[in-house]
Structure 1
Amino acid sequence: MEISGPITPGQMAVLVGFIPILLAWMYAEALEFWNKSRQATVNPTVPDILLKEEAKKQLLESGLSPESSRAYKQKAGLFRFFMMDKDFLLDNRLTLRAASEFGAFLVYFYLCDRTDLFGESKKNYNRDLFFFLFFLLIIVAAMTSLTIHHDTSPFSSKPVQYLNRHQTEEWKGWMQVLFVMYHYFNAKETYNAIRVFIAAYVWMTGFGNFSYYYVRKDFSLARFYQMIWRLNFFVAFCCIILGNHYMLYYICPMHTFFTLMVYCSLGILNKYNETGSVIAIKIAACFLVIVAVWEIPHVYDFVWAPFTFLLAYNDPDASRKYPPMHEWNFRAGLDRYIWILGMIYAYFHPMVEGWLEKLEQTEVKLRTLIKTCISAICLVVGYLWYQYIYKLEKYTYNRYHPYTSWIPITVCICLRNITQEFRSYTLTLFGWLGKMTLESYIAQFHIWLRSGKPDAQPQKLLSIVPNYPMLNFMLNTIIFVTVAHRIFILTNKLKPAMIPAGDNKQLLFNLISGVIISITLYALSLVLLNLMNKQVHYAHASNLNK
């Protein structure tokens, strides 16, 4: 098996850190098995709950509360891990299992995309097959997962909320299916539609984050780091393991930036957020910031120059080379305004919800007339957008996209929520897929498609079943979706262990410990690679002398 390129310090550092975690998990599983076997043999009649109560009583008798004991165990966690403390390993067995499984998936990513263990094949677009597969999935979803969502309270007479969570997850799901199929089949004719889908994702970033912070008023450090963790944990390890720049996965920095903008805009002077004029000023300030950065010449270069180390990117296979920050300018610039529209829609959500409730209570003929008029207006506006904007050649379309992407999004929202029945029904299969859009977006690059080298766009398909393209598509898709779903679950499982909610001291301790461990592992990897290189050089010199 050959690998593409030399081993990097980052890869070696992850490997050195992964091995003790894997060994600790295996040891913890062995301890758990041994304890259960012993318990069943020695005292099979004592229930687990009685054993836990007895342990709690012993703690209280020794002057320690369960809370103080837990805090002590957390603070001494690193030392106990390195000492392979049995109680610590048993307490954290599931976390170690999640970390080990996550590491195993990273190894699989590397094997698929950086070695010749599996083959590769060319992309082949067939319009008939492309739309056949998509509509087949819709039919299967409709037959197996069509669900009606009722009010949260059985005593409530309110209609199902428009833009409810089930609906937005379904929306993300079917868009994600078309998004990844666009990459797999190289469906260039759907380029403009994909641009609208990405704009809709960014719109949801503004809508969802504004709704959360405006309603919950939770601007804590734990919430902030949990948000950053969700967006960047998986992609950070992919960048390290596969030697890619952050901007190869441009969705991640885009959503991170726009999420930070929402967080900052609502977090600053947040005690005044209940005042409408303050929200108006904040939203106007967001518009002014984006206009200044992207519309005024030279401001973009000045603002983003300090972040070149993070956001620079150049496709090694591109025939034309652009400045390092061109990709970020292009990608973020396409959707620079739509997240603010998401904030505005979120702010007026209760008002629209009230209008819809009143509409549902009106006389049937009037209600039908109003809904028919709204639907007709939406259809006309959507048709005009399609004829005069969407059908433009892609480079021309890109110039209009930042200012027009809100049109199809608004039309879609209005038509999807025009009746209570439309709001109530969703295809939960797409909702399930919509929950792991971030993981499926990143995973597609390496275990569904294939680039073969750092920073390259995935121009080929991963081939596990050579010469059988549809069987290969089926098997790869099963593995791809399964792995993406597992990584989504593992990311959420590892989050509370690294970012505890409501404990800023422990959070700070974890952050500092993480930085120290990362620096130590990187330094150790440099030493190991240096020793390996010297040994290879010595062996090569010995062969020449012979």
Structure 2
Amino acid sequence: MAGTQAMLAPSGLSSMQVSAVLAFFLFAGLYCYAELLEYARRSKYSRARSGDDDDDEEVGKEGPLGKDASLGSPAGSSSPREFTFMGSGFAQCLMLKQKALLESRIYLRAAVEFGLIMLWFYVVDRTTVFTPYGTKSYSRDVLSFIFIVLTIVAFWKSLKKYNRGPDLLNRQQTEEWKGWMQVLFLLYHYFNAREIYNAIRVFIAGYVWMTGYGNFMYYYHYKDFCLGRFVQMMWRLNFLVTIVCIVLRNSYMLYYICPMHTIFTVFVYATLGLGQKYNATNAGILIKIGLCVLLIYVCWDIKAVFYAIWSPFMFLVGYSDPRKPTDDLLHEWHFRSSLDRYVWIHGMLCAYLKPWGEGFLQRIDALAFRARLAARTAVIAGALVVLAVWYQNIYVLPKVEYNKVHPYTSWVPISVWVVLRNVTPEMRTYSLGIYGWLGTITLETYISQFHTWLTTGLPDGQPKMLLSFLPSEDYPLLNFALATAVYVYVSHRLFHLTATLKTAVVPNKAGRELMRNVVLILVSGAVLWVCALLVIGITGLSGVIEVAANSSTLLEASSTRQLL
């Protein structure tokens, strides 16, 4: 991603950015034409409905939209397409085939809406429309108040019981867990709450732990190592961040959570996907987990090995903060990934031991009242003692000292939370819907915060400032409320748009269709890039683009002055 910054138009926009603009206009044009076709079809149907009774009866036989009713259904719902390049829905749309355009209308709409949100990110973060930006100001009272009020509302309005039995660490519970951690993580960024840094490190470790836990549970239980399913996961983790990097000329490592989850997801997939016959035995799984520990030790703890492995991938994981330039472009990736390099393995181990944990809790549930109360009290007391020891000896350490021990100790508070959250059947079957909903869009809220809640002000910049709709110094809380409403809505839409576009691009099963779509994406990207170079070379258009570039230059200078 970072490498695209070198190929700039005279206006200051990169060829990749111009490619994104061309792609947006292409999809917008196709979508408008598809809507016109849909309007014409509905008008024809309305006229048919207003005709004589014989016509009405005939139309009724053909379906609610007449004989072309199937054309408006999503692609793939009718007869399957041939797995050829010209038979793909995208190629058919480019040839303005009416059937393909009507079938793909929902996907074209999603692409256009996605592009409009990217335009919004650019306007917020690369122009002077919303300057001056607000400055971060920490208030322990305000941060605590916001989180407590949200939690009270969550208990009051969204506490739900899920009738799926007392399943240990069920989906609703893990989504809720991600949700409340994400709220505190975001508030930490918004208010620059440095005093809870160590807690935030534990929360990030919790996300990575769930990457190991959730992926292990899926692959171990379903034994589905289909490439299509894996590509869908990669799409979920990387599609949004890739487009954002292109549009805003940022490095992939600016959003370090994405490469972290990606690499650890790949590791889990490889752990269970390679030597699948050994997954059937306890010894086989434990040996695999032990080999993962050894692999991480060699590839991360030995710094020379780490740099040798990742140097060829500098274009992906290299990063330098423009406000604090460094020659060691791999430092950020080494630092971030090293902090949580072991906790995903603990997540896999917990997933493997889940049946034992469920059996242990069920045996406690089956005890007589007094014995059950004593057993649960002992479990809770033991967990709290472990947490207290960790807190007194680890958590209270200063930032630098804490970071040194975090990779080896983050599993302790995570394990305690899992025990306390699941100690009774009621706690395993109830969850908070609001936090669960927020937990489903954590990736989108993480990426969007940089450009529509906070702001960076320049390519690869850290989000040091606040988006201000109102003067932040005069109305800090009103501005917070308004910016948060826009931010959550945008994140929610991005979640659904990413899923919709995934349906159009990534099939469930690997095969010719998947390979065809991959080739189509690469070829289409190359064609758009060549077209962008041609557009950049046309001097008559440079003046139009110059306005955006000058605005971006002024913004960088303004943001730098604000930080100083």
Q: TM-score, normalized by length of structure 2?
A: 0.88
Indicate if the aligned counterparts of 2:114 and 2:494 stay in contact, CA closer than 8 A. yes
**What residue is the counterpart of 1:335 in the other structure?**
340
Aligned with 1:492 (options 486, 499, 503) = 499
**What residue is the counterpart of 1:186 in the other structure?**
192
**What residue is the counterpart of 1:409 in the other structure?**
414
Indicate if the aligned counterparts of 2:175 and 2:437 stay in contact, CA closer than 8 A. yes
Instruction: Verify: 1:501 aligned to 2:508, yes or no.
Output: yes
Shift of 1:534: 9.2
For residues 158-187 of structure 1, the C-alpha deviation after alignment (integer angstroms, 9 at most, x for no partner) is: x41110111000000000000011101111
Indicate if the aligned counterparts of 1:56 and 1:66 stay in contact, CA closer than 8 A. no
**What residue is the counterpart of 1:543 in the other structure?**
none
Shift of 1:358: 1.8
Aligned with 1:42 (options 41, 45, 48) = 48
Indicate if the aligned counterparts of 2:45 and 2:66 stay in contact, CA closer than 8 A. no
Return 459-468 or 224-233, whichever deviates more: 459-468
Instruction: Verify: 1:86 aligned to 2:98, yes or no.
Output: yes
Shift of 1:80: 2.0
**What residue is the counterpart of 1:432 in the other structure?**
437
Aligned with 1:463 (options 462, 468, 475) = 468
Q: Matched residues in 2 for 1:416 and 1:200: separation? A: 14
**What residue is the counterpart of 2:151 in the other structure?**
138
Cα distance change, pair 445–47 in 1 and its aligned pair in 2 (3 A):
farther
Shift of 1:56: 10
**What residue is the counterpart of 1:310 in the other structure?**
316
Q: Matched residues in 1 for 2:275 and 2:209: separation? A: 24
Indicate if the aligned counterparts of 2:320 and 2:460 stay in contact, CA closer than 8 A. yes
For 1:218-237, list aligned pairs within 5 A.
218-237=224-243
For residues 488-522 of structure 1, the C-alpha deviation after alignment (integer angstroms, 9 at most, x for no partner) is: 01111111210011351111100001001111111
For residues 50-98 of structure 1, the C-alpha deviation after alignment (integer angstroms, 9 at most, x for no partner) is: 3489969999xxxxx9635576798243332122111111111001011
Cα distance change, pair 531–418 in 1 and its aligned pair in 2 (3 A):
same
Return 298-307 or 391-400, whichever deviates more: 298-307
SS at match of 2:160: strand
Q: Which runs of 5+ in 2 are unaligned?
A: 1-9, 50-55, 72-76, 547-564
Q: Matched residues in 1 for 2:278 and 2:362: separation? A: 28
User: Taking every aligned residue pair, what percent have the same amino acid on both sides?
Assistant: 45
Q: Matched residues in 2 for 1:183 and 1:48: separation? A: 58
Return 292-301 or 249-258, whichever deviates more: 292-301
Shift of 1:307: 1.1
Aligned with 1:293 (options 290, 296, 299) = 299
Size of the alignment, in residue pairs?
Answer: 522
**What residue is the counterpart of 2:388 in the other structure?**
383
**What residue is the counterpart of 2:361 in the other structure?**
356
Cα distance change, pair 57–525 in 1 and its aligned pair in 2 (3 A):
closer
Instruction: Verify: 1:77 aligned to 2:89, yes or no.
Output: yes
Shift of 1:330: 0.4
Cα RMSD for the two superposed structures: 2.4
Q: Matched residues in 1 for 2:69 and 2:420: separation? A: 61
For residues 520-546 of structure 1, the C-alpha deviation after alignment (integer angstroms, 9 at most, x for no partner) is: 111111121122389669x9xxxxxxx
Return 258-267 or 31-40, whichever deviates more: 31-40
For residues 410-458 of structure 1, the C-alpha deviation after alignment (integer angstroms, 9 at most, x for no partner) is: 0111111111111121110000000000000000000000111000101
Shift of 1:245: 0.3
Return 205-214 or 26-35, whichever deviates more: 26-35
**What residue is the counterpart of 2:139 in the other structure?**
126
Q: Which runs of 5+ in 1 are unaligned?
A: 60-64, 152-158, 540-546
Q: Matched residues in 1 for 2:88 and 2:414: separation? A: 51
Q: Matched residues in 2 for 1:534 and 1:87: separation? A: 35
SS at match of 2:538: helix
Instruction: Verify: 1:516 aligned to 2:528, yes or no.
Output: no
Q: Matched residues in 1 for 2:392 and 2:335: separation? A: 24
Cα distance change, pair 457–76 in 1 and its aligned pair in 2 (3 A):
closer
Indicate if the aligned counterparts of 2:441 and 2:495 stay in contact, CA closer than 8 A. yes
**What residue is the counterpart of 1:476 in the other structure?**
483
SS at match of 1:362: coil
Q: Matched residues in 2 for 1:422 and 1:285: separation? A: 35
Cα distance change, pair 205–56 in 1 and its aligned pair in 2 (3 A):
same
For 1:202-281, list aligned pairs within 5 A.
202-281=208-287
Q: TM-score, normalized by length of structure 1?
A: 0.91
Q: Matched residues in 2 for 1:124 and 1:226: separation? A: 40
Q: Matched residues in 2 for 1:140 and 1:272: separation? A: 48
Cα distance change, pair 163–23 in 1 and its aligned pair in 2 (3 A):
same
* Counterpart residue type for residue 147 of structure 1: K
Aligned with 1:96 (options 105, 108, 113) = 108
Shift of 1:258: 0.2
Cα distance change, pair 96–311 in 1 and its aligned pair in 2 (3 A):
same
Cα distance change, pair 348–42 in 1 and its aligned pair in 2 (3 A):
same
* Counterpart residue type for residue 334 of structure 2: N
